[in-house]
Amino acid sequence: MAWPALFNEPLLREVSSHSKTLATTLSLTLLVSLLIARRNQNDPSKPPLIYETIPYVSNIWQYVVGKRLFFRRVSKVLETTPLVQCRMGPISIYFVSGGSYLSALFKSSFITQPSIIRVIDYSAGYEASDVAKFAADDSGSAHVPLRGSNVGSDDRIWHAMHRLHSETLLSSAAANAFAAAFQDYFSQELATSGRWIGRPGEWATTEISSFLRKHMMAAATKSIVGPSIYDMSPDFDDAFWKYEPQVETLAFGLPDWMTKAGLKARDEMRAIWRRWYEATDAKYDWSNSHDDVDLDPVFGSRISKGLARMGKSFGFSNETMGASYAIFLVGVHTNTIATCTWIVMELIKDPSLWRAVEEEVLEAQYFDHTGLKLNVEKLVSQPLLQSVYAEILRLYSRFLIARTATESVTVCGYTLPKGSTVMTPVEASHLREDIWGAPSHPASEFWAARHIVEIEAQDEHGSTTKRKEYSLGDRKKFFLPYGGGLSMCPGRNIGKVEVILCVSMLVQAFEVDFSSVEWVKEDGSPSERPASDEDLYSNAMTIHPDREMRVRWRKL
């Protein structure tokens, strides 16, 4: 549940102006680039440069037209050196490898605010006057303002946002409240009989990705803001999935004529949430507000009401409030639904794995006055479920962690100037063979038991027993699906609960005909291969499958 981590101010500004300055850049580059490149390549005081066929041109061009190959090239170089310099047009980006080298990136000398401003401005469509409030606050997110800032306490918008996320998303109370709501709403979704579900006892053909995009999203959305959004906008699903793939491209701030489809999708989604906010705000009694209620009958969850309260305290327009809910829900859905889709596909591909997960789910079942329930605390502590969840995050959370230096900093022994943008592609840590590889299980492949260890213990009779536990061990510093530091994804606890609960409820509710699996393309035609990772989401969000899984199941 985090905004895409790719967007960094200097790189996006460069691409934003690319269409206007390309001819000038190319002509100047051809005159001076070879001399400058040759001089800097051998400068021992600077990190090694990533090679370019045409200096100042090749890297930015490959990034725009073939992002996947570009970051694989960066990751390969980072296997041999902890820090590299990469020219992206006229600017320099620094890439750092994972592990202990990454700790410098999470210190107070680095901030994420410039990248977030790009998102709220271009991707979300906040009004300019409200974007300016973020831009004017140079005090940072921490409790203590950054050195040299003169921003008053009432204008510390970054700290207010950080505090809101911490109080309404990170706590165990927030996770428990979300889990209770999601379990109820997803049970209602599964109780319906529609295209992908069928009636109890009857076989139905479902498409896993499409099913989750509709039913998992509906349950999670209602758990955050209540059910009224669907009452007011029955076409919410379609509008969301038109907008979601456009978020990254919009953040580049390209000319309107280049992003017509994205702007149209953004404006439609913003309008849906503006109408919802205006109607919800009008019927809410702010003079009698109770902040200790986990699920408010009007605004929904604490984070939903908190967003509204924060907007009022900083004087946001209704248009900006619509945009803030729209972009927040992208953060809620895009990573969790993709993660859940990959997990369900892997379980169906391997019937023995499905049955092993089913055993863990059975251990978490109990009955209350409403019927069969799942003990969420038990579920999220089950070793196999946790290992499968972590393995999917490791393979498909391939975003960038990006920070901007607020002062001159030393990284990996090199001094970088103030304003430097330093990134790490999560892929560089997550796919390292020397860290994650195991005999017969290369790091590039899914292995459900990769994060399970056997622990010996003595029972009350003194006998030695073995039990399985989930553990990342010493590899934890190379596991970065939530980012790191002060800007670590605040929704990580709720996201884990949502995915594991959704998977468990499906395993509990359905019998699968494992022999019926078909892989199909987006247009519905048969595919010659299973799902792979879709380049559209590479290094921006959790990667979505590029193929649909079609399978028969029946509700138990």
The backbone torsions φ and ψ at residue 514, rounded to the nearest 5 degrees and listed phi first, read -65, -25
Rounded CA separation 506/343 (Å): 11
State the Rg of the chain over Cα.
24
Q: How many CB atoms lie within 10 A of CB 207?
A: 18
Give the dihedral sign, CA 17/19/20/21. positive
E strand or H helix at 400: strand 400-405
Which residue from 458, 428, 409 is spatially nearest to 107, judged by alpha carbons? 409
Rounded distance, CA 546 to CA 23, Å?
36
Rounded (10°) angle between helices 172-191 and 217-225: 130
SS3 212: helix
Q: Which residues pair with 399 in a beta bridge?
A: 539
Partners of residue 301 on adjacent β-strands: 295
Residue 315 Ramachandran class (φ > 0 left, ψ -120 to 50 alpha, else beta): left
Signed CA dihedral, 116, 122, 124, 127: sign only: positive
CB 87 within 8 A of CB 52: yes
CB atoms within 10 A of CB 193: 13
Is 340 annotated in some ligand binding site? no
Helix axes of 157-165 and 128-136: crossing angle, nearest 10 degrees: 90
Q: Which residues are annotated as a binding site?
A: 489
Residues of the binding site for heme: 489
